[in-house]
Homo-oligomer: A and B are copies of this chain.
Amino acid sequence: MQKPSVPKGTRDFSPEAMVRRKFIFETIEDVFQLFGYLPLETPAMENLSSLLGKYGEEGDKLLFKVLNSGNYLSDIPVRQINPENAGKLALRICEKGLRYDLTVPFARYVVQHRNDLTFPFKRYQIQPVWRADKPQKGRYREFYQCDVDIIGSNSLLNEAELIQVIDDVFTRLGMNVLIKINNRKVLSGIAEIMGLSGMFNTLTVILDKLDRIGIEGVMSELLSTGIKADAVEKLKPILKLKGSNSQKIDKLEKILYGSGTGQQGLKEVDTLFRILGNISCRSEILWDIPLARGLDYYTGTIIEVIALDDRIGSVCGGGRYDDLAGIFGMPDISGVGVSFGAERIFDVMSKLNLFPEGAVTGTKVLFVNLGAKEQNHILPLLSKIRGAGIRAEIYPDHAKLKKQMAFAHAKKIPFVALVGEDEISAGLITLRNMQTGEQKKVNLDELIGQFM
C-alpha cells in the first residue's frame, strides 16, 4: 500500500505546531476583541462568480475550482467538451471555488448583509485561504489569514487604532517590528507632478525597490521604461527628503503644490501622525514615502510591518480602500484594514524562540497507572485536580513503569504522580519533577497548590 500523504503545498499541523499556532491566533484575537472587533466566518467555498476577476488574470488561474456534483457534463454541448476549450469549460463544470483571500468574501458579506449591519462595522476573520500557487519554501497552497477591518467610516482615527492593534499584537508576541506607513494619494500626487498619472503602477513597482537598489537604481530603471529624464529628475528631491515628518510635509507641500490629490494625501498623513502623537506605541512608526503596496484597491493610508530581528520581510500589511464593496454593487463605502501574516510570524517566532513555555506543553501532571486498585483510587483525585482547572491525565494501560515514564518524557509532561499501596494508605501522592528528578510526597491540596 502506498504511504499516505497530503496534497502538495498543504500541511498537517501536529499538536506541537498547533499549540504554538494557537498561541499566535489567540494573542491576535484577544487584541482584536480588546479594540471592539468581533469575529466573522464565511464559507470555504464561494460562488466562482464572486471570486473571478477580483484578483487579476493571474489570480483567476490560482483559484481552486470545485467540480459540480452529479453529472457535471450533462448540460454542456458536446462540441464544448474538449481540451482546447478546457479554460472556458472549467467555468461551466465548476460553479464554486475555494476562497483566495478574506477580503473579497468580506466585501461580499458586507454587501449581502448591508441592511442587517451596524456601521461602522468592525470585524476580524481568521480562516484558511487556498491558492493553486507553485509550492516553495514558505509558500503554501493552504494558509491562514488574519484580517481585521472597519468599514463605513472615513475617520483617520481608524488607521490610528489599527496601528495600535499592530503595536499591541507584536508587543504581546515579543517581536520587534517597524511600522511603515504612507498614503496612496501622496504617491498619486507624485505621479501627477511627474506627468506620469497613467503609469502609476510602473512608478510604484520601481519605487518599491528603493531599499534594495538605491536612488540611482530607481532613476535608471525609470529611464529604462521610457520615462523622460526631466520627469525622472522631479523624483530626486522627493527621494532625498530628510528631517522630521512635519519638515517633510512642509517640503512636499511645496513640491506637490499643483496636485489636489497630493495635498489631500499630505493632510491625511499629517492628521494621522497628530492622532498617533496622543498614543504611546512601543514600535517605531515611520513615514516611508516610497511605500506603495501592490494591491490596486488601496486609495489612502497604506501600512506595512517589518520584523526587525529577521530578514523575512513584511509580517503584516494593509490600508484604506474607498470602493471595495463597489465590486459587489455597493459603491462609496470606505474601509480600512490590515492582515497579519500568521505563517511568517510563526516562522520568525520559531527561529527566535519567542514562544513562552506555556505555549509548548499541554498536560501538567501524568498519573502513572500501576493497576486496577491504584487506578480506582486515582480517578476521584483526578476529577478534583481537573476541577481546579489543572490539565491532568492517567496513563490508560497498566504498562511497565519505564514505558509510562518514557511517555511522560516524550510528551514533555513536567510532573509525574505515583500512587502505589504506600501512598494509598498514607493518603499521599509521590510527585516527581521530570526536569530535576526531585521527588516529594504531597497530599491532594498540596499537589493542586503546586500548579495554581
Contact = CB atoms under 8 A, between A and B. Distances in A.
Interface of A: 1-7, 10-15, 18-19, 22, 33-47, 49-50, 61-62, 64-67, 69, 71-74, 76, 78, 81-83, 86-87, 89-90, 93-96, 98, 108-109, 111-113, 116, 118, 120, 122-123, 128, 130, 132, 141-142, 150, 153-155, 157-158, 160-161, 164, 168, 275, 278-280, 328-329, 362-363, 366, 369, 375-376, 379-380, 383, 386, 389-398, 407, 410-411
A19 B43 contact: no
Given A130-B44, A328-B1, A396-B158, A7 B95 contact: yes
Contacts of A33: 362, 391
Contact of A12 (B109, B379, B383): B109
Contacts of A95: 7
B4 A157 contact: no
20 contacts: A1-B329, A4-B329, A5-B47, A7-B96, A15-B39, A15-B123, A18-B38, A19-B38, A34-B390, A37-B362, A44-B44, A65-B67, A73-B89, A76-B83, A78-B83, A120-B397, A155-B398, A157-B397, A160-B379, A278-B376
Contacts of A386: 34-35, 168
A193 B112 CA distance: 60
Contacts of A74: 83, 86
B86 A82 contact: no
A69 B86 CA distance: 11
A329 B22 CA distance: 32
A4 B73 CA distance: 26
A11 B43 contact: yes
A43 B397 contact: no
B362 A38 contact: yes
Given A12-B113, A67-B67, A362-B33, A43 B6 contact: yes
A38 B15 contact: yes
A67 B96 CA distance: 11
Given A35-B392, A36-B392, 11 more contacts: A4-B47, A4-B108, A5-B112, A6-B42, A10-B43, A14-B40, A14-B113, A36-B362, A71-B83, A73-B89, A118-B411
A50 B4 contact: yes
Contacts of A328: 1, 4
A336 to B, nearest CB: 10
Nearest to A118: B410
Contacts of A96: 7
A73 to B, nearest CB: 4
A128 B41 CA distance: 11
Contacts of A10: 43-45
Contacts of A66: 64-67, 98
A19 B29 CA distance: 12
Given A40-B13, A130-B44, A396-B158, A34 B391 contact: yes
A397 B150 CA distance: 12
Contacts of A72: 86, 90
A47 to B, nearest CB: 6
A384 to B, nearest CB: 10
A28 B202 CA distance: 52
Contacts of A376: 275, 278
Contacts of A90: 67, 72
Nearest to A412: B118
A77 to B, nearest CB: 10
A86 B395 CA distance: 51
